[in-house]
Structure 1
Amino acid sequence: MGESAMWGSDNGSGIPGLSSYETNEDLARVALFEGYEQSLLRFAYISCIVFTLIGIPGNLVTIVALAKCKKVRNATALFIINLSVSDLLFSCFILPLATSTFYNKSWAHGKALCFMFPFARYALVAVSLFTVLAITINRYVMISHPQLYPKLYTTRNICLMMAGIWIFSFGALLPTSLEVWGRFSLDPITGSCTIVPDDHKNSPKKFLFIIAFILPSVAIILCYARILWIVRKTAKKSRNPPTQMKSLSMSTTTIATRTDLDKRPSRNTVPAFPINCFINTGAELSSSCESSTPSEQERQSVTPETKARTFGHEGKNFRRSFIATMRWTTAPPKPRLPTKKDKKLLTMIVAIMVAFCVCHLPITLMKTIVFDATTHSVANVVGYVLIYFTTCANPVIYVVMSNEYRQAYKSLFQCKR
């Protein structure tokens, strides 16, 4: 990603492949960032150094703290750890090479690393964005389909999801690495090793831009729009008692009336069952909604013999009323109203997504148009800096916006279990 040329358009087909350079010294002699102000390049490599010093310990602490703290050990925390691993690798591998490139105004690391640099950069950016998408879908399923959540988000399934993200992100670049569709090489225009057109002038940048940026971003927006719609709808219903509740009350009154009219002893009266309004997912800290189920004593008190004695001589209408009531009480759980912790966590995830878009979208849009990098030197360097900033932005967001994560950090530093 560093190239800020991130997903951009082709710069023509005059860029030679790595095989065109006989030695690493030939590659190092290619001048980069010609015509750029020295103060601008100094700002770039100093920023990279700062981001490295913050990103490596920040993401490492996040991984260890969330892994050790049982209080936040849930699906969202696992995806956050996955995101932090991606940012940590980016900080350890991409940022030092980018710092050297800005400082030396050349690529001094050989052909092998010039190949690995864009391969890792593009893949790690994709891992980050798809992980944010996975977190968003996780919250959407919890809010809108709570009955499906415990079945879908088991530890095994979460591990498969994360493995799929990594495999897909790196696998999408295999055609480019084999020079079947574009190739990795040094681009003097953008000043970085990146994806360049192959001999047939083909490049996958626009395809990657759509598949790995546009589509996930649209999916994230749609998920949040759906969540907000559900929240508004559920909040409105919570202010007005549902008609089903009134129907249940009438059915209960009918049962009580028929029981009072019955000449049999009152000990045969069937106990009323509590209503199970919401389901407790049991997997998320932020979901504290409790379910209400009949106690063991109540279940034991309603035996087939008891029901036979009570309802054996009742009319059809009475039985239908009771059956309808029982069916209603065992209906699948409906979308629930998010708790206060849900809302805080959703806000944090939105902040992560907004930070990601703010840092990536400007340079992405700019690189979809062929432009003179020397004329737009400030925009080019600022685009680099914004992209590299994302590696250390997420740990700051966690600390500022999540009380549970702050407690996890404190517990780690205070050596508490």
Structure 2
Amino acid sequence: MIKMTVENVIYPQSWCYLASFFAVLFCVFGVSGNLLTIVALLKSERLRKHATTAFLLSLTFSDLLFCTIMMPMQAVRYYYRSWTFGDFLCQVFPFVFYSNDVIDDPYDYQPIHSHHVSTFISKDLSNKIHISSAVLSLFFPLAGLWGEMGYDTQTFSCTILKKNGKSPKTFIFLVGFLLPCFIIILSYSCIFNTVRKQHAKLNKFDSNQANKSKLKFFRNKNDLRLTVMMLVIFLAFIMCFLPLMVVNVFDDKTKYPFAHVMASVSAWSSAVINPIIYAVGSSQYRNAYKNLFIQIKTWKSFNSSGNNNNKAHVSRSNTVEPISNIAQKSPGEGVKPDSSCLEDG
């Protein structure tokens, strides 16, 4: 049974309130931004056919779940500086958090196959490395053979604790972060090396051949731009998660609490920044967002005009005198005859 106490907490209260504020902020903007991205991608017929859309939808859906489930829990946790969700969720929380980092994120940025460039790594091999690193990283603490899942009273976190003085946390970060990063960087290097060689070949052709080759190359230019955008997303992921990896590896005893708090905030931001990169880095994705907002605006205008018409109709109907009132009037209260008719008579 987890004891809700703040006596052993080493994180300053002011920094915990700041982290709680960022968690709420990331929850609001992360849910709205990622949800809009999913709808925009699904409604865009052009983007649905593109090779990168499946990867981006997977990444965006993962970020949406993270902002919807994990961020509210982090906000409450840092606000109260204790774990208030019970023993069972304390066992589940670190598994979800670490599996999200190890399994999902790095490999969502793997290079794509396009018409003019492709990586040396096959999708099948990538998936094998993907699953193997995840299973290898999380098996030992789950089985209690090397560390164990539990509650740390000093950092009020449900995480991987030491068992018999040993913990696999450093190993998990190294295997789950550095290994896929190395593979993906190597893959992107192959892509841009291929592009560089193609440019060199174009310069050796005669003018007619060069023009034909350039036309073919520029038809696929959007593929290259999207590949570059995927690289930018991957680099942003590294920048967000690198501080968390550094403090967990090199400050295992939490000598610098402030660094751990800000490293966590930095890691959370990775689930929020991707929609911004999509909008800035690709005109196709900007158009998808733009079309979605136009549809939303049109829908709101249609509903607003419909409500106004209904109100106007009700108002006009209220001004007509009811037939029952006319029937109840006495004969002397009827419509008066025209005075000109009386004079003519």
Are residues 1:131 and 2:108 paired? yes
CA contact (8 A) 1:399 1:405 kept: yes
SS of 1:144 mapped into structure 2:
coil
- In 2: Cα distance, 1:166 partner to 1:92 partner: 25
Q: Show the counterpart of 1:60.
A: 35
SS of 1:181 mapped into structure 2:
coil
Unmatched runs of 5 consecutive residues or more in structure 1 = 1-22, 246-275, 279-287, 290-335
Name the % identity.
Answer: 31
Higher RCO (C-alpha 8 Å, min separation 6): 1
If each structure's helix is expressed as a fraction of its own residues, which one has the higher value?
2
Unmatched runs of 5 consecutive residues or more in structure 2 = 297-345
CA contact (8 A) 1:185 1:193 kept: yes
- In 1: Cα distance, 2:53 partner to 2:279 partner: 14
CA contact (8 A) 2:118 2:191 kept: no
TM-score, structure 2 normalization: 0.74
CA contact (8 A) 1:82 1:162 kept: no
> Which residue, out of 55, 73, 76, partners 1:97?
73
Deviation at 1:389, TM superposition (A): 0.7
Cα 1:226–1:202, aligned 2, differ >3 Å: closer, same or farther?
same
Deviation at 1:231, TM superposition (A): 1.4
Q: How many pairs were matched up?
A: 292
Deviation at 1:175, TM superposition (A): 3.8
- In 1: Cα distance, 2:260 partner to 2:225 partner: 35
- In 2: Cα distance, 1:162 partner to 1:66 partner: 24
CA contact (8 A) 1:123 1:173 kept: yes
Deviation at 1:142, TM superposition (A): 4.8
Deviations 1:321-353 (A, max 9, x none): xxxxxxxxxxxxxxx688432342133112211
> Which residue, out of 86, 89, 97, partners 2:62?
86
Deviations 1:77-129 (A, max 9, x none): 11000001111111112111111111001111111111111111111122011
Cα 1:370–1:165, aligned 2, differ >3 Å: closer, same or farther?
closer
Deviations 1:246-281 (A, max 9, x none): xxxxxxxxxxxxxxxxxxxxxxxxxxxxxx979xxx
Counting only pairs closer than 5 Å after superposition, residues 16-415 of structure 1 correspond to structure 2 as 23=1, 26-29=2-5, 31=7, 33-34=9-10, 36-73=11-48, 74-126=50-102, 127-133=104-110, 136=111, 138-139=112-113, 142-145=115-118, 169=134, 172-198=137-163, 200-241=164-205, 289=216, 339-370=220-251, 372-373=253-254, 375-415=255-295
- In 2: Cα distance, 1:372 partner to 1:171 partner: 24
Q: Please report the RMSD computed on the Cα atoms of aligned residues, expressed in angstroms.
A: 3.4
SS of 1:220 mapped into structure 2:
helix
Deviations 1:157-195 (A, max 9, x none): 9xx988996897478524422323321111234441111
TM-score, structure 1 normalization: 0.62
- Residue type of the alignment partner of 2:62: S
- Residue type of the alignment partner of 1:48: A
- In 2: Cα distance, 1:346 partner to 1:72 partner: 14
- In 2: Cα distance, 1:111 partner to 1:196 partner: 15
